[in-house]
Amino acid sequence: MEQKKNAQLHAFKENGKFGFQNNKGDVVVEPIFKSHAYYWCEDYLGVTDENNKSGFINSKGELIIPCKWAKVGGFVDGLADVMDDNKKWGVINKDGKTIIPFLYSNPFFKLEHKILIFNENGKIIFMNRHGDTIRPNQLKNMAVFHEGLVTIVDEHEHYGFADENGEIIFPPKWDYALYFDKGYAYVRENDKCFYMDHSGHLVQIHYELPPSLTTKNTSDFLQCLVIKTKFPVSSIK
C-alpha cells in the first residue's frame, strides 16, 4: 500500500503485517500492524493491530495514541474523529484527550472555520472546539460553511445565513438560498431572484435557476452584472 510521497515513513509488508521504514530503507517500526491508513494527516497515521484496534503513530514511528479504538479518522487542525467499542463516535486531540464525548452513532465529522459538524439521527449539530453546542435552537437544519457563512433553514422552511459562531447574520426570510461563492449568494423570494453579497446588498436577476459561479465565465458574468446595476464589486476577483 503506497504512502503519500512526502511522508517521512513508508509502509512495507512482511508476513502479512505492516511495518514502516524511512527514506533510506531502514526499518523504524517492525511489521506488527494488520493495516494502516492511506494518508498521513498532520504527521499522524492511523494504524490497526492484530486485535482490530486502532490508534496512531507519529512521523518518528512512535505509537503516540494506543490502539484501543474501534475505528479512527485522520487528524485535521489537531483533532480526529474516533469510534469506541460501543460504536459511538467522538473527537480526540493529539494527546488522546477526549474533546467531544462518545455520543454519536451516525456522525460525519468535518472541520471548517474551527467548527465541528455532527449528524445525529438526522439533526445537524454544530460545536466549537471545546465541545460547546452553538447550533441556534430555532433552526431546523444547516449546510456546510462557505466563505465564513452557512446556509440555515428555520421551522417555516425559510432560508438565511449564520456565521462560524452560530450567530445569525441574515435572518431566515428567503424561500430558497444557496451558499456563498466568490463573495455572492443566490437567494429567492416568491418569484424574485437576487444575488446578495456579504454586506447584504442585493441585485435582482432574471433566472429561474442561478447561473453557475464556478465556471470560467464567472468573473465576466459578475462584471456585466455590476456594470448594469452598480452592484458592489469588492469581492469580485
Instruction: Report how far residue 36's alpha carbon sits from residue 49's, in angstroms, rounded to the nearest whole number.
Output: 9
∠ CA 14-19-22, rounded to 5°: 120
pLDDT for 75 beyond 80: yes
What percent of the chain has a predicted confidence (pLDDT) above 70? 65
159-186 b/e (C-beta count within 10 Å ≥ 16 → b): bbbbbbebeeebebebeebbbbeebbbb
Instruction: Report how far residue 153's alpha carbon sits from residue 123's, in angstroms, rounded to the nearest whole number.
Output: 12
What band does 117 get if pLDDT is binned at 50, 70 and 90?
A: low
What are the domain boundaries of the chain?
A: 1-75, 77-134, 136-237
Q: Please say whether the structural domain 77-134 has been given the CATH code 2.40.10.480.
A: yes
- The architecture in CATH of the region 136-237 reads Single Sheet (2.20)
Least confident of 19-33, 42-56, 172-186: 172-186
Instruction: Report how far residue 207's alpha carbon sits from residue 202's, in angstroms, rounded to the nearest whole number.
Output: 15
> Taking the model in full, what pTM does it have?
0.53
Average pLDDT (99-126) is 59
Name beta bridge partners: 153.
141, 159
**Which pLDDT score, from 0 to 100, does residue 210 have?**
52
Residue type, 164: E
**Which pLDDT score, from 0 to 100, does residue 164 have?**
66
Topology of domain 1-75 in CATH is Thrombin, subunit H (2.40.10)
Average pLDDT (165-185) is 84
Instruction: Report how far residue 223's alpha carbon sits from residue 230's, in angstroms, rounded to the nearest whole number.
Output: 10
Query: Which is higher by pLDDT, 109 or 153?
Result: 153
pLDDT tens digits, 203-224: 887 655 554 444 444 444 444 4
Whether the domain at 1-75 and the domain at 77-134 fall into the same CATH topology:
yes
**Which pLDDT score, from 0 to 100, does residue 108 have?**
47
pLDDT for 162 beyond 60: yes
Query: Which is higher by pLDDT, 88 or 210?
Result: 88
All three cell numbers of 50: 492484530
**Which pLDDT score, from 0 to 100, does residue 213 have?**
46
**Which pLDDT score, from 0 to 100, does residue 207 have?**
57
